[in-house]
Amino acid sequence: MLGVISIQYVAEFGYMAASALFMLGLIKLGKVKSARQGMSWAAFGMAIAIAATIALLFADDHWSTKSVLLAAASAIAGSALGYWMAIKVPMTSMPEFVAFFNGLGGLASTFVALAEIPRAAHLQLSLADLGDKDHPGEGAMFAIAAGLAVLIGAVTFSGSMIAYAKLAGKVNKNRAGPLGSQGLNALLGVASIALGVWGGFFVSDPAQIYVAGGALLVVSLVLGIGLTMPIGGADMPVAIALLNSYSGIAAMTTGFVLQNNLLIVAGSLVGASGIILTQIMCKAMNRSLSNVLLGGLQDAGDGGGAKKDEGYTKVKTTSAEELAQVLDSATSVIFVPGYGLAVAQAQHKVRELATLLEKKGAQVRYAIHPVAGRMPGHMNILLAEADVPYEQLYELDKINDDFKNTDVVVVLGANDVCNPAATQDPKSPIAGMPVLEVWNARTVVVVKRSLASGYAGIRNELFQMDNSLMLLADAKKALEDTVTELKAL
């Protein structure tokens, strides 16, 4: 008995240590310089949490060598698979990779909650009757937590899989029959709540409890698809942040199901940080969360004052040789990275070009828009991979006023985040969205493979402004050629 109590104390201490490391890691993630250290601390905390959980198996009266070995083998296999995927997945696929992992988190919470429901079914009690007379509210808490864990976890899983498919280009639709319509989503939402209440508070027959749990799972999965399907591509950074929050909330509710303090703390951290990030993303786009969830940009090209990509008449093209000559005489240069930079894997080449310009005496900076790319922080990750100095990265509000004093701005695969329609066309679908006002610079060079529209699906007048030049090429190839030409000058 003493040994069992000691194990429990050690495990709880491990959980406390893991919680502290998670919080410290999250704090470190708030700054680019310390982000890697924050990830390491959080990973170490997770290792402690896994070890403590396996140790708790020894405190169970029904523990066996088989159960301990199975838990340890699962932890090792999962860690190895996660490491392999993180190493193998290219940086261009990181957004869908994050969406996929969000979904797995939701699925894990769903499975754990479903696994706990048979406790009530076995006892032939409604979920709300669980607990003893000294703790009359325990059963109700279990019923609510289990229902929410299944509901939110399943919505997170199916929604994240749709987000993954959209980011990977496997799904290009905003509807799948009636799926995605507001009416059906509302009906599914009401049905899922009704099933949770019915299964948690009004049935005690084991068969009915299983039916309620299974039906809630199916309805919630369909609801997740319906909620995510209408969200347009331009809103994917917001969608990923929101789904990340969902996965945290699902983990938190599972913590209440298991009465596990670590899950409650960790889930709360993820849920709260995800909500905060979602708000930041919405603010960066000057849009409400409800507008994003209803797919506000999904038909952007069909309405408003902006038309789809057609009819450019004043575009001036340039070459890598001419760009090198322009940069050679520049004293200040700002690079604006976008998704095209990620697709071309050109982050190392832009770093090489920037180093060359610095040696020639030019001031080099990078303007980072909060929603550039396909997920929050996408551009920061890319540039950090190329060892771009952190102090050269500037957020939108800290660099927008400096464009008017800049000789050359080089836009690398960005489109919607530097579209003047946001400030000049009140009828545009992106009207009011904070953008990088690159057109105020003396010269703007847009490196892009074509004149095609961005993810918002709208025209960009920047392409044919008087001080704008288009270098129509793959970003990596264009930068390689520019570096070669600049070295020859």
Which residues are known to be catalytic? 416
Q: Residue 436: what residue type?
A: L
Distance CA 131, CA 295 (A): 44
Distance CA 184, CA 280 (A): 29
Task: Please tell me whether residue 470 adopts helix, strand or coil conformation.
Answer: strand
Distance CA 242, CA 330 (A): 42
Angle CA 183–186–189, to nearest 5? 150
Determine how β-strand 468-472 pairs with β-strand 443-448.
parallel
Helix or strand holding residue 212 (H, E):
helix 206-228
Q: Burial code of 1-30, b = ≥16 C-beta within 10 A, e = fewer?
A: eeeeeebeeebeebbebbbebbbebbebbe
44 CB-contact burial (10 Å; exposed 0-12 / middle 13-18 / buried 19+): middle
Number of residues in the chain: 489
Query: Is there a contact between 293 and 231 (Cβ–Cβ < 8 Å)?
Result: yes
Q: Give 364's DSSP letter.
A: E
